[in-house]
Amino acid sequence: KSLRIREVCSMAPILPVLVVEDAANARPLAEALVAGGLPALEVTLRTPAALDVIRAMADLPGSVVGAGTLVMPEDVRAAKDAGAQFGVSPGATDALIAACEAEGLPLLPGAVTASEAMRLLEKGYDILKFFPAEAAGGVPVLKALAAPLPQISFCPTGGISNANAREYLSLPNVICAGGSWVAPVKMVQGRDWAGIEALARQAAMLSANSAS
C-alpha cells in the first residue's frame, strides 16, 4: 500500500487538492494541471459533483486521479467505483483503513501527532498526510517529528501555497505537499485553464528534498 502511495507522492512536488462544483470543468482542469506538470490529482469528495469529476478525469492519459476527504468506509467503494486510483483522508480510522484495504485502494491517511503516526506505521503506512499543516504547527512540528520518527514521510496539506511550500519541501521527512492554491475555485469557475496551467507549472518547479 505504501509503495503505491510513494509512487503517487513522487510524481511531482505538489499534489493539487481539487474542489470542483461542476463536472463539466473536470476534464479541462485536469488537462491544465497535467500540462503544467502536476500529474497526480486529489479530487475532494466535498461537492455533490465529486464522483462525476473523478469519473471525468479518471482516464486522462498521464494523470493519476485519487479521491480526497475519505471519511466514512462507504466513501471508499464510491471513490473506487468512480475510478479513483488512490485515496486521501484528513485522518484515519480502523474502519476506513479496512475499507481501503478490502477495495485495494492505496491510502494516504492523515496524522498529526506522534501516536497517530505510530499507529499508522504499525499498520504499514509510512507516508502520511499532515493535516491541517499550518494550523497544526507547520514546519517546526514536522522538523520535530523527524527526529524520533525518521522512517515516516509526510505530505503536509492545509494552508500551503507557493509562498511557503519550498520551506516544507526542504524537510527530509516531506515527500510532497498538497494544496488547493494551484486550482483556486474562482479560476475553475471562470474556466481560466491557462492561468491554472501557469500555477501548476510554477508549483511543478518546486522540488522536494525528501530523503525518502
**Residue 84 beta carbon to ligand 3PG: minimum distance, rounded to whole angstroms:** 15
Backbone phi, psi, residue 22, to 5° = -125, 115
Residue from 12, 17, 117, 165 that binds ligand 3PG (CB under 6 A)?
A: 17
Does residue 178 bind ligand 3PG (CB under 6 A)?
A: yes
Q: Which segment (5-13, 58-66, 79-87, 172-180) binds ligand 3PG by CB under 6 A?
A: 172-180
Binding residue (CB under 6 A) for ligand 3PG from 86, 130, 131, 168: 131
> Looking only at residues 68 through 87 of this chain, which bind ligand 3PG when binding is defined by CB under 6 A?
68
Of 124, 142, 38, 42, which Cα lies nearest the Cα of 88?
Answer: 42
Place of cell 498526510: 129
CA–CA separation, 145 and 157 (whole Å): 16
Under the binding rule (CB under 6 A), the answer on residue 138 touching ligand 3PG is: no
Determine, following the binding rule CB under 6 A, whether residue 106 of this chain makes contact with ligand 3PG: no
Catalytic residue (one of 1, 42, 80, 197): 42
Among 5, 82, 160, 188, binds ligand 3PG (CB under 6 A): 160
Q: Residue 184 interacts with ligand 3PG (CB under 6 A)?
A: no
Q: Is residue 80 annotated as part of the catalytic site, yes or no?
A: no
89 binds ligand 3PG, rule: CB under 6 A: no
User: Considering the complex, what minimum distance in angstroms separates the CB of residue 90 from ligand 3PG?
Assistant: 6
Active site residue 21: no
Residues of this chain that bind ligand 3PG (CB under 6 A): 17, 44, 68, 131, 157-160, 178-181
